[in-house]
Structure 1
Amino acid sequence: MREPDGPGGRTPEEELVHRMAACPRGREREELREAAVTACLPVTRRIARRYGCPDRSREDLDQVACLGLVMAVDRFDPGLGHAFLSYAVPTIDGELKRYLRDFTWQVHVPRRLQDKHRRVRLAQEEMRRAGRADGGTVRDLQALTGIDEQEVRLALRADRARNPLSVDEARGTGRGVALAETIGGDDPRLELVTDLVALRSLVAELPARERTILRLYFGDCLTQRQVADAVGISQMHVSRLLARTCARLRRGLLTG
């Protein structure tokens, strides 16, 4: 913005906005509107530069900032007695924040953490301009931003939510294997599901004493002596009952 030289100490750009607001709808008003928007573009671009994202083109941010400027020009009411910039800057800033919140995060991140992420990222850029290629340590960023150290760490981790890896992305030197093919695998225990379902029904058919012995021995991992003491029979009897019960269950599974 240039120094004020218009009526009431207004800048030429603000004077255009005031003239447009006082002008009735028509061609002259549209021309004043276009002139006001064009005159304010340098300020708009400077605001957009505060949000320069490495993963987003500057053109995207410039366009969003320009939309905010147009909204400010159209909605500004000189009758309230405020300077145009005091209304336009928060409007443009709000549009940029809304855009970054709603369209640049692939995974949902709370707004509070998004704001801290932006402050940490700007601090990293400042550190790099000062010669710190790594963007500074967590403590450096904490000192610059005034954000708690744990929150700084969360903000750094949140950066991964902008562009998470796709499971279909090709990996490796040959770039021919999708990420999904390199993680996970078949769980061999899935083959036991049918047997476990059948075994549960067979166990339910056993007498109560045999079910108790199975639970104590296999479930609670007691010794045969401890099972015998709990049930009130001899260890030898427990051994015979276990062998007979397991054989019965095995036959039931094999015969279906």
Structure 2
Amino acid sequence: MPTQVSAKHHPHDDAPDTAEAFRRLAALPPGEERDVLRGKIVEAWLPMADRLAGRFRNRGESPEDLRQVAALGLVKAVDRYDPERANAFESYAVPTITGEIKRHFRDHMWTLHVPRRVQDLRNRVRFAGQELSQTISGRRPTVAEIAEHAGMSEEDVLVGLEALESFTALSLDAEMPGSEDGYSLGDALGAPDPALDTVVDRESVRSRLAALPERERAILYMRFFGDMTQSRIAEQLGISQMHVSRLISRCCGRVREQVLRDAA
């Protein structure tokens, strides 16, 4: 006859007496009977898992998702629990379920990857701040007070405080605080300088331009830096416009060939 999960409860209403069921589960071979009993044990302890999930509400995750994560932790606890160790299942299941929920927050709720150490500092600072807020009224705890209460250095407290504000990323379209004209974070960010694309080219031709005869250098300067037309350059130098055109083409071609040869 299959073992039934007892309705007898411990001091917690959500902690059923399943000691006999766990002993029966450990003795059963894999199969349908074992799966049914395992399911009954999990179902009996689900209220406790839901209670533990409720401790993490209002932290940016939906209650339903938290209950699912807690249920997963409960299943792991049932599968790993060894009744021969003589420890109550609750004492084993609570840290297992809580750890599963914390891992969920660590692995899935941060928009950006944050080192584990920074996440731990954030949690210690948050808990210390909550505890101090019950004894300090009218103001927020100082960095020194949090450091003393949590046994941390002030530098680590500052890192934890910064991480408290970095759990989620701010949209680039979000309006800046105090802005009245829709000025967004994206508007405050710089853009790539298109001149950076020409830095390598400029440096490559610098020495070759310097080696040109003085008249050719002057013509190129007036054309590309002075923005002068070929006719004006010809008038200023007392030569024909066609001659200016040939000189510009010849100089540019020569410099290009030399730079390409140097690169090769």
Normalised by the length of structure 2, the TM-score is: 0.62
- Any conservation in 2 of the 1:76–1:84 contact (CA below 8 Å)? yes
Alignment of 1:169-188 (within 5 A): 169=174, 172-173=179-180, 175=182, 179-185=185-191, 187=193
Q: Which structure 2 residues correspond to residues 164-243 of structure 1 after superposition, within 5 A? A: 164-169=169-174, 172-173=179-180, 175=182, 179-185=185-191, 187=193, 189-190=195-196, 193=199, 197-203=204-210, 205=211
Q: Which of 10, 14, 27 is 1:2 aligned to? A: 10
**How far 1:162 moved relative to its partner?**
1.9
- In 2, the alpha carbon distance for the partners of 1:130 and 1:34 equals 45
Q: Give the Cα separation in 1 of the matches to 2:98 and 2:45.
A: 14
Rate the CA distance shift 1:50–1:131 in 2: closer, same or farther, 3 A.
Answer: farther
Give the structure 2 partner of residue 67 of structure 1: 72
Residue 48 of structure 2 is aligned to residue 79 of structure 1: no
Distance of aligned partners of 1:78 and 1:161 in 2 relative to their CA distance in 1, 3 Å threshold: same
For 2:74 and 2:156, the matched residues in 1 are separated by 33
Distance 1:143 1:48, change over 3 A: farther
Deviation at 1:119, TM superposition (A): 1.6
Q: TM-score, normalised by structure 1?
A: 0.64
The structure with the greater share of residues assigned to helix is 1
User: Match for 1:33 among 38, 55, 59?
Assistant: 38
Structure 2 unaligned residues grouped into runs of 5+: 1-8, 224-247, 253-264
Task: Name structure 1 gaps, 5 residues minimum.
Answer: 5-9, 207-243
Residue in 1 aligned with 2:161? Answer: 156
What is the 5 A alignment of 1:79-98? Answer: 79-98=84-103
Mark the CA change 1:16 to 1:173 in structure 2 (over 3 Å): closer, same or farther: farther
Go from structure 1 to structure 2 and tell me whether the alpha carbon gap of 1:126 and 1:157 turns closer, same or farther (over 3 Å shift).
same
> CA 1:16 to 1:143, structure 2 compared with 1: closer, same or farther past 3 Å?
farther
Q: Shift of the alpha carbon at 1:67?
A: 0.7
- 1:101, distance to aligned residue in structure 2 (A): 1.8
Deviates more, 1:83-92 or 1:150-159: 83-92
Give the share of equivalent positions with the same residue, in percent.
Answer: 38
Superposed displacement of residue 29, structure 1 = 4.1
CA distance in structure 1 between the aligned counterparts of 2:129 and 2:20, rounded to whole angstroms: 39
The 10-residue stretch of structure 1 (25-34 or 58-67) with the greater mean CA deviation from structure 2: 25-34
Question: Contact 2:209–2:217 at 8 Å: present in 1 too?
Answer: yes
Distance 1:27 1:133 in 2: 61
Pairing partner for 1:112 from 114, 117, 135: 117
8 Å contact 2:77–2:97 — kept in the other structure? yes
* Aligned counterparts of 1:133 and 1:14: Cα–Cα separation in 2: 50
- Cα distance in structure 2, aligned partners of 1:119 and 1:100: 15
Q: 1:135 to 1:29 in 2, by over 3 A?
A: farther
- Which amino acid in the other structure matches residue 124 of structure 2? R
Whether 1:17 and 2:22 are equivalent positions in the alignment is: yes
Residues 138 and 250 (structure 1), Cα distance of their counterparts in 2 relative to 1, 3 Å cut: farther
What is the identity, as a one-letter code, of the residue corresponding to 1:2?
H
CA distance in 2: counterparts of 1:58 and 1:149, whole angstroms: 34
Q: Are the aligned partners of 2:19 and 2:83 in contact in 1 as well (CA < 8 Å)?
A: no
Judged with a 3 Å threshold, the aligned counterparts in structure 2 of structure 1 residues 37 and 189 are, in CA distance, closer, same or farther, namely same
